[in-house]
Amino acid sequence: MRNGGAWRATVVTAALGSLLATATLTACGGARDAARDGARDGAGADVGRSAPGRSAATADPTRIPGVGDRWQRRIPADSRQVVAVYGDGRDSADSTVVLYTKRGTTWDRVRAWPAHNGKKGWTTDHREGDKRSPVGVFTLSDAGGVRKDPGARLPYTRSAAFAAPRWWATSYWHDFDYVIAIDYNRVKGTPPNDPTRPRGYERGGSIWLHMDHGSGTSACVSLSASGMEQLLRTLDPELHPVVVMGDRAHLKAAR
């Protein structure tokens, strides 16, 4: 069931599901030639793999760590939840997802998980099929997936239309059991698999947070099932959540 208006809870028909699977999974698809190194489980506590923390001597608790002025000022003033995705490098598919919440003027680190991003890394000029995730700050407005709603606060659409095609490798079949749409080249307030791309098809789209299969994606960010469940149960539209994402060098940019 969907948490929003009744019209958004409509079950997508099997025919439409097949069409949408072909039209909208391309950003996170392309599974046939991906490396298969096994999914990493983020169910434990904070990741030890160099996720940015705070130095007691230099930290500014009013800022998201590791994020320079260029991207820091793009975080909306009313946002009180940030999902930060710290890519290991411009051409790396490995990253770390960290959830921050704001209390007063202070950003508190809640949890971190190992993650993956685009197979070829990151870009500030994302194009369809480039296998790179877009660098930037994007709102998070809608969620969904194959599985039933785990208690999401964001509007949630459950539908078999999210299922990965069965001609993909079996390790990818559960990628879209849970998804959170990243508001890059999409219409807010629609299910994540709505294929509409306001800036045109060539600019890419259907970029999501979704479940991990153990290697890079076509542009999305992937993390463990337990991590996705926590994000779904935590991200609250009333707190205006956003994702701040990119490789560490780009994120540190001052301008």
Q: What is the model's pLDDT at position 120?
A: 98
% of the chain exceeding 90 in pLDDT: 76
Closest CA to 157 of 183, 193, 208: 193
Give residue 255's pLDDT.
Answer: 83
> Which of 58-62, 69-73, 91-95, 158-162 bottoms out in mean pLDDT, i.e. has the lowest?
58-62
What DSSP string runs through 57-85? TT--TTS-TT--HHHHTTS-TT--EEEEE
Q: 158 in helix, strand or coil?
A: strand
pLDDT score, position 254: 83
Cα separation, 101 vs 33, whole angstroms: 37
pLDDT in tens, 169-193: 999 999 999 999 999 999 999 999 9
Model confidence pTM above 0.85: no
**pLDDT at residue 35 tops 60:** no
- What is the rounded distance in angstroms from the CA atom of residue 11 to the CA atom of residue 154? 18
pLDDT at residue 1 greater than cutoff 70: no
